[in-house]
Amino acid sequence: MPQILVEALAKTYRVAERAPGLTGAMLGLVRRRWREVHALADVSFSLEAGELLAFIGPNGAGKSTTVKILSGILRPSSGRVEVDGLVPYEDRVRHVARIGVVFGQRSQLWWDLPVIDGFDLLADIYRVEPERYRRRRDELVAMLRLEPLLDQPVRQLSLGQRMRAEFAAALLHDPAILFLDEPTIGLDAPSKLAVRDFVRRLNREQGVTVLLTTHDMHDVEALAERVIVIGQGRLLTDGPFESLRASVLAERRLHIDFAGAAPELGIPGVTVRARSERSLELAFDPTKIPTPKLIADITARHAVDDIHVDEPAIEEVIARFYDLHDAGEA
Amino acid sequence: MTTRAARPYLAAFRARFQLVLQYRAAALAGFATQLWWGAIRILVFAAFYGVNAAAAPIGLTDVVTYVWLGQALLALQPWLADPEVGQAVRSGGVGYDRLRPLDAYGYWYVRTVGWMLARALPRAVLMVLAAAIVLPLVGLDDWAWRPPSGVTAALLFIPAFILMTMLAAAVLMLANIIVAASLNERGVNAVLAPLVIVFSGSLLPLDFYPDAWRPFLHVQPLAGLVDIPFRIYFADLTGNAALRGLALQAGWTLVLIALGRFAMERMMRRLEMQGG
């Protein structure tokens, strides 16, 4: 029995529509038209305890809606959801006591209260036993290096500091499942690394099931064994990140610096992506032209200073995947 | 068991109460305004009583106390939806409220009570100092805020005060829910303020209104906010009449809470949160 079960999930919003301008506004007073927006059309997947799953997709794809339904905030239009045997929006109070949620764009701490007061308040709200609370709090404070921040009001924290505090806040009641909605959004590089490192430890060492949404492909690469790509409310693919990369793009890149002027190569199956006076960037499919053979061919005929091979950036893989499925934001 | 069940709600109440209590400038400004308006209202009443005291349903000294009591406890009147709700709705903080393992209505209710009491407390203390202590000391005894008329009145005023606070919070919860559903507090506040000021007896004790209106005025829910508890305070309502007043307060509080819970359930089902 999987820990999270989602079947044929759909969520439809009704949006008031009116013609632009003043006339439109006046008409809207008399007669209002509604348009249906399908945030989620048909999404199914399941997740075992202890898994770490990343949800990716363009803006408006339905990632956040999925998280909000799974966490019990929203109610789907149709479909079935079970988390640890509970239907989140039917059994909200029992369900939310067992999960932790971090929204990268919102704060669950009290703006005017010092961080530690916010933690105390959450411990009361989740009815965490005092002894357990102290242990858990100290553990999280150590893991997230929060000690120097505890006495500061939340409004004085930097975004990176605040996100670390948000993570602690979401985990004080020791939930078995953690939902993260764009947890690294707007963070600087060291803060992103800290968040990734923390999430990984939480998942590997404490066995917390993690479902995260993100636009940052480095999050995915660093964390997730499994990725779901969602676009226009539909599930496009579900599998290991490596197979996603392989299925979309087997391409390799060859960067060459020549001793003299960059020559015309004219090798079939190899395209020139970029050219400067003394260097070329080539793209090729290694299943058709083996990398060592290509390098050997080139170095045999031209004087080469430097040469290296790499893969397309993950962002590019995903952008291409969205194009392939016509899943970009409408 | 009960302490465990009540712990989150007490904590939420305490947090809000402590936070709002820190706003000293707001408390002082509120006090100054209410003192000023209290003086003006008393002058108006004095002029009225000077012309025709016999036509008045209650004596001047009681009316003076009624005014001071009302000015002191103005922040307990439900004429303004809880600003935290409007803010939470706009910022999406409502989503986090839904993530707490708590009764959604109760969680908002205790926070609203904390907000009301924290605003009312410093103003009431200052008003006692000014109207009940300073005024007699400077020889303006006739215009002072009098203590409750007797021990029975004082004892009855305790439940009346508690019920008036609970009733006010129940009214505010309805306003809060409308704010949450409509994403804006202006409309609600614009309608709520005049209704509450007139029908609670805040503007005039309800017996000052025409005879034909009174049967209605005395049974409608807002009477329990000012008219009933204050008349219990100066023993205009005594014995069975006082008990009937308390029952009316309690009854309407329960009705409005039930209504609010129902409305909140419906509102939350429709709740939509878009974007990140």
How far is it, in rounded angstroms, from Cα A254 to Cα A271? 10
Mean pLDDT value of segment A120-127: 95
Q: Domain extents for chain A?
A: 4-22+29-246, 250-311
**Cβ atoms of B154 and B95 closer than 8 Å:** no
**Minimum distance, in Å, between the CA of residue A242 and any CA atom of chain B:** 27
Mean pLDDT value of segment A275-282: 90
Segment A50-109, tens digit of pLDDT: 999 999 888 878 888 899 999 998 889 999 999 999 999 999 999 999 999 999 888 889
Which parts of chain B have pLDDT scores under 50? 275-276
Q: Which of B7, B90, B99 to mutate to test the interface with A (most CBs of A within 10 A)?
A: B99
Counting residues of chain A whose pLDDT is more than 90, the rounded percentage is: 48
Cβ contacts of B90 on chain A, cutoff 8 Å: none
Query: Residues of A184-203 as b/e, b for ≥16 C-beta within 10 angstroms?
Result: bbebeeebbebbbebbeebb
Nearest residue in A to B5, CA atom: A127
Q: Which of A70, A73, A185 to mutate to test the interface with B (most CBs of B within 10 A)?
A: A73
Q: Which of A64, A68, A83, A166 to mutate to test the interface with B (most CBs of B within 10 A)?
A: A68
Flag the least confident range among A160-169, A306-315, B107-116, B118-127.
A306-315
How far is it, in rounded angstroms, from Cα B119 to Cα B132? 20
Counting residues of chain A whose pLDDT is more than 70, the rounded percentage is: 97
Say yes or no: B2 contacts chain A, CB-CB below 8 A: no
Q: What's CA A222's distance to the chain center, in Å? A: 11
**Minimum distance, in Å, between the CA of residue A62 and any CA atom of chain B:** 9
Q: What is the pLDDT of residue B275?
A: 43
**Cβ atoms of B107 and A124 closer than 8 Å:** no
**Cβ atoms of A37 and A13 closer than 8 Å:** yes
CATH class of A4-22+29-246: alpha beta
Give me the interface pTM, i.e. the ipTM.
0.86
Segment B82-117, tens digit of pLDDT: 998 888 888 777 888 889 999 999 999 999 999 999
Q: What is the pTM of this model?
A: 0.85
Contact A108 B92 (CB under 8 A): no
Helix (H, G, I), strand (E, B) or coil at B173: helix
**Cβ atoms of B160 and B245 closer than 8 Å:** yes
Mean pLDDT value of segment A199-215: 93
Say yes or no: A108 contacts chain B, CB-CB below 8 A: yes
How far is it, in rounded angstroms, from Cα A56 to Cα A61? 9
Interfacial B residues in 87-106 facing A (CB < 8 Å): 91-93, 95-96, 98-103
**Cβ atoms of A258 and A303 closer than 8 Å:** yes
Interfacial B residues in 7-66 facing A (CB < 8 Å): 7-8, 10-12, 15, 19
Contact A113 B15 (CB under 8 A): yes
Residue A284 has pLDDT above 70, yes or no: yes
Mean pLDDT, chain A, as a whole number?
Answer: 88
Cβ contacts of B19 on chain A, cutoff 8 Å: 110, 112-113
**Minimum distance, in Å, between the CA of residue B112 and any CA atom of chain A:** 16
How far is it, in rounded angstroms, from Cα B123 to Cα B113? 16
Segment B180-199, tens digit of pLDDT: 888 888 889 999 999 999 99
List C-alpha distances in Å: B82 to A103, B122, B176, B182: 24, 18, 6, 14
Residue where the block lists tokens 């970009």: A328
Nearest residue to A325 (alpha-carbon basis) of A252, A235, A242: A235
Contact B101 A97 (CB under 8 A): yes
Burial class from Cβ neighbours inside 10 Å (0-12, 13-18, 19+) for residue B89 reads buried
**Which comes out higher in pLDDT, residue B269 or A125?**
A125
Residue A312 has pLDDT above 70, yes or no: yes
Q: What is the pLDDT of residue B120?
A: 94
Cβ contacts of B98 on chain A, cutoff 8 Å: 72-73, 92, 96
The fold adopted by the segment(s) A250-311 is Alpha-Beta Plaits (3.30.70)
